[in-house]
């Protein structure tokens, strides 16, 4: 498995829970001196954070 980009900053879930379904994320990488979009999407399309967090407890 190759390296994955990571965010330079993060928010606590309780700070964003009330508007979770409206958050849109973008990840950029730099290749050949050019900034390129790596992936994007709404977090509401991801696994539910409450149930996911419960698995790792």
**Residue boundaries of the structural domains of the chain:** 21-47
The predicted pLDDT at position 31 comes to: 82
The predicted pLDDT at position 1 comes to: 60
pLDDT greater than 70 at residue 56: no
pLDDT greater than 70 at residue 8: yes
The predicted pLDDT at position 7 comes to: 75
Closest CA to 38 of 25, 24, 22: 25
DSSP string, 7-43: -S----HHHHGGGGGG-EEEEEEEETTEEEEEEEEEG
pLDDT greater than 70 at residue 41: yes
Evaluate whether 26 touches 7 at the Cβ level (below 8 Å): no
């Amino acid at each position: 498995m190759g390296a994955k980009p990571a965010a330079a900053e993060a928010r606590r879930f309780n700070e964003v829970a009330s508007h979770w379904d409206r958050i849109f994320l973008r990840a950029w990488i730099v290749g050949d001196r050019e900034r390129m979009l790596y992936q994007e999407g709404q977090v509401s399309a991801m696994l539910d954070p409450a149930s996911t967090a419960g698995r790792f407890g």
